[in-house]
Structure 1
Amino acid sequence: MVIWTIANQKGGVGKTTTTVTLGGLLAERGHRVLLVDMDPHASLTYYFGIDAEELEVSVYDIFTRGKTITREEILQSLCPSTAERLDILPASMSLATLDRSMGNKGGMGLILKKALKLISRDYDYVLVDCPPVMGVLMVNALAACDRVLIPVQTEFLALKGLERMIATMALMRNAQQELAFTIIPTMYDKRTKASLEAYKELKAKYQDRVWSAVVPVDTKFRDASLAQTPPNVFAGTSRGVFAYNTLLTYLLQLGPEA
């Protein structure tokens, strides 16, 4: 089982879109895929029409149960998506209380990693959608993954968010080996100077850590979310889906430490 964490300490850069689209494309290629929503805002959960406020069981229970949770209980907490071979481990608003209630307890940083290990034979890929803040949830998502995918909107303020994200991963290096990561330029609009300059700065500063292509602005992403369907199912020939398909091929060719 391969685990990718999609993270950035700035909101609105395309984390959930990246999670859903890559997950949908992996499922389309025949893989068994689990999407994990670690954000208390539950955007990924709501994307698929799952009401976070009505859930009896969610990813929150993995944290409150800790070592006592079983594989069967985790599988029972999953929700099917609107696409084949694609399941959701949904979020609930209760996640927002974890830092206050459990942030100082020992061993909190590896709870997600241990839980996913219990279902490692059930899925080929797990994609974890992170909140845009440093805390117990992001630490767990980073500790659990094989690679961090960092969507970065091609505009100046998003570059500042990327700097914070890189600094956070450097702190994590104290606890484990260096995290492999790929920077994904998103919401690129070739008609604007802001996108052109931001992309140029990304490539100059982070070089081969940046995926060589871009995800363009595409209204089909918004339409797909309204339809509660992965973009590749809703509009498989759109330019945005084409870009993510190219990205996925690139990621699958990378070695685990690249």
Structure 2
Amino acid sequence: MTVLIAIPARYASIRYPGKPLVSLKGPDGEKTLIRRSWEAAMAVRGADRVVVATDDDRIRDHAAGFGAEVVMTSSDCQNGTERCAEVAQKLPGFDIVVNLQGDAPLTPAWFVEDLVAGLRADPGADIATPVLRCDGRALNGFLADRRAGRVGGTTAVFGTGGRGLYFSKEVIPYTGRTYADDEETPVFHHVGVYAYRPAALAEYPRWPVGPLERLEGLEQLRFLENGRQVLCVEVEARGRQFWELNNPEDVPRIEAMMAQMGG
């Protein structure tokens, strides 16, 4: 099965304008968010092609400057999945299309590799996405973000066979207790990566935005609202920390994680 990785990146983010071009300091120097995300994608084994998908000339020029292949997409795309659907239309013939979002530079290569393997092994799934069990430290970070009114990580609940039931920016399920930093919790962090079958991805832009997607601002809910099977693939951290860059406040947090990991 051939695999295309698309990295959607837009400049006009409502919460964080210009986010793809924000610089992040690491042990390997200072690099932009989009470059670090591209480097993460290039480390994935089994990917046949990696492209940056954008509608912005500044991002295009910058990405081309460090060697990335760029596909220009419409400014009408409302989210990364719609942008990936346009890329898949322009670059047909792949069996799996991966959406490695441009705000997740800490995504380990094995997250994507496990995700692709999970979709290959489950012919009934239309889309697959990774989930990472939270320890107490991660869960407490989520709760602190919510108390401060910040949008932090997304959580996921799923049933038999890993079938996704719901995704939320609130912390679900409700636990009613606190956990030690190194304690295992029943809460799963949804990692913002997706692997799609092209047929399901092609349908996505034709569906109207449903009430749940509108309320939560989570693109994957459109698949659930239209009866598509979303496979949640549990992945292992292997000692790595993971966080997405959602707000300006996340920059020092991610830089600290990179320093700790040495990359």
TM-score using structure 1 length: 0.29
Structure with more relative contact order (C-alpha pairs < 8 Å, separation 6 or more): 1
Higher helix share: 1
TM-score using structure 2 length: 0.28
Higher strand share: 2
